[in-house]
């Protein structure tokens, strides 16, 4: 693995613009379950029953309870060495962008500054009727909750069949198309349009690095694949980068 890390660091020392594209795997070592791994969230529960708007209208109690359960986990866990390594690396680059599919807020809590959240954020909730925002704080309702206007309150996350937040997606695409190196970390890269981000980066000439213990649809396209856990690989890259930077 050390040779691969050296290769990544050789590149990092030469480039100006970095994109780090992340998925559920980056938070796995914090204790947030992924979706599609064998212990993932969707081995027991079907996505189409929970992560879409019609499912919410059909069964708002179940979907509200599911998001309360996940928000509680996300509150209780801490960022892991992968989140911290990404936040640390940002300090060395003028243009450094985290593009995340995660809704768990852990990149921000670790100190990353420039983040595009493609699938929303579990901290925000809004009324589907009047669009008023609600902060539920430490309340974890186990049944549907309603706005003062009578509308259902939903989490501000992107479900299947829904558009991604326009500003976040546009910002992410722009960063991808202009970066020199793109890391794809902890994502199966099967959910679109988010999964276009590393593809756009590669198509526009960026060096594409994948960090994942397992092969993905993106592995063949990557210039370099490091098969390992994000929380082990990323700190090594950042330590080596800082060491080499000092020597220059
Ligand atoms: C580790 C690790 C460790 C483990 N270290 N790694 C083509 C173009 C455009 C759209 C489509 C298209 N084809 C199909 C579509 C539709 C659909 C889609 O993509 N479907 C595919 C699944 C087939 N896309 C949509 O519906 C999107 N909207 C859209 O297209 O709008 C336009 C439109 C509008 C109207 C009509 C039609 C179209 C929206 C997608 C929204 C996805 N939302 C979710 C839920 C968010 C809320 C929530 O969290 O509850 O987002 S689904 C879920 O998947 C979640 C994730 O962000 C997303 C990606 O998952 P991720 O992060 O990759 O997790 P996993 O579990 O899959 O992978 C984890 C990885 O980590 C694994 O590889 C492990 O090996 C690895 N790992 N431990 C490093 N320690
Ligand atoms: Zn309302």
- Domains belonging to the chain, first-starting first, are 2-32+79-119+165-247 (3.40.50.1220), 40-76+128-157 (3.30.1600.10)
Instruction: Sheet containing 120-127: give its strands across.
Output: 133-134, 120-127, 153-157
Residue 46 has pLDDT above 80, yes or no: no
Average pLDDT over residues 176-197: 98
Distance of CA 75 to the CA centre of its chain: 16
Q: Whose CA is nearest to atom 35 of ligand 1?
A: 161
Average pLDDT over residues 226-232: 98
Look at residue 48 in the predicted model and tell me its pLDDT: 64
> 141 alpha carbon to ligand 2 midpoint, in Å?
17
Q: What is the pLDDT of residues 71-122, one digit of tens each?
A: 999 999 999 999 999 999 999 999 999 999 999 999 999 999 999 999 999 9
The answer to whether the predicted template modeling score (pTM) of the entire model surpasses 0.75 is yes
Residue in 20, 21, 24 to alter for ligand 1 test, most ligand atoms within 8 A of Cβ: 24
Which atom of ligand 1 is nearest to 82's Cα? 5
Q: How far is the CA of 151 from the centre of ligand 2 (A)?
A: 5
73 touches ligand 1 (CB under 6 Å): no
DSSP letters along 132-177, please?
-EE--TT---SS--B-TTSPBEEEEEPPTTSPPPHHHHHHHHHHHH
Q: How confident is the model at residue 220 (pLDDT cuts 50, 70, 90)?
A: very high
């Amino acid at each position: 693995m050390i040779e691969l890390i050296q290769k990544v660091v050789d590149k990092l020392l030469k480039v100006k613009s970095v994109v780090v594209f992340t998925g559920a795997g980056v938070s796995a070592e914090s204790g947030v379950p992924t979706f599609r791994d064998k212990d993932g969230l969707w081995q027991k529960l079907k996505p189409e029953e929970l992560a879409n708007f019609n499912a919410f209208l059909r069964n708002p109690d179940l979907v509200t309870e599911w998001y309360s359960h996940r928000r509680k986990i996300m509150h209780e866990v801490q960022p892991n060495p992968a989140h911290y390594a990404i936040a640390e690396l940002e300090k060395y680059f003028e243009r450094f962008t985290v593009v995340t599919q995660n809704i768990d807020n852990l990149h921000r809590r670790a100190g990353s500054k420039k983040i595009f959240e493609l699938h929303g954020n579990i901290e925000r909730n809004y009324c589907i009727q009047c669009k008023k925002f609600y902060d539920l704080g430490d309340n974890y309702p186990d049944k549907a909750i309603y706005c003062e206007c009578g509308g259902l309150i939903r989490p501000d996350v992107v479900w299947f069949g829904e558009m991604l937040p326009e500003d976040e997606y546009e910002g992410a695409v722009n960063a991808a198309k202009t970066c020199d190196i793109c890391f794809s970390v902890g994502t199966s890269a099967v959910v679109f349009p988010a999964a276009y981000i590393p593809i756009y980066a590669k198509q526009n000439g960026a060096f594409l690095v994948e960090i994942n213990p397992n092969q993905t649809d993106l592995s063949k396209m990557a210039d370099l694949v490091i098969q390992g856990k994000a929380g082990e690989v990323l700190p090594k890259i950042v330590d080596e980068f800082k060491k080499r930077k000092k020597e220059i």
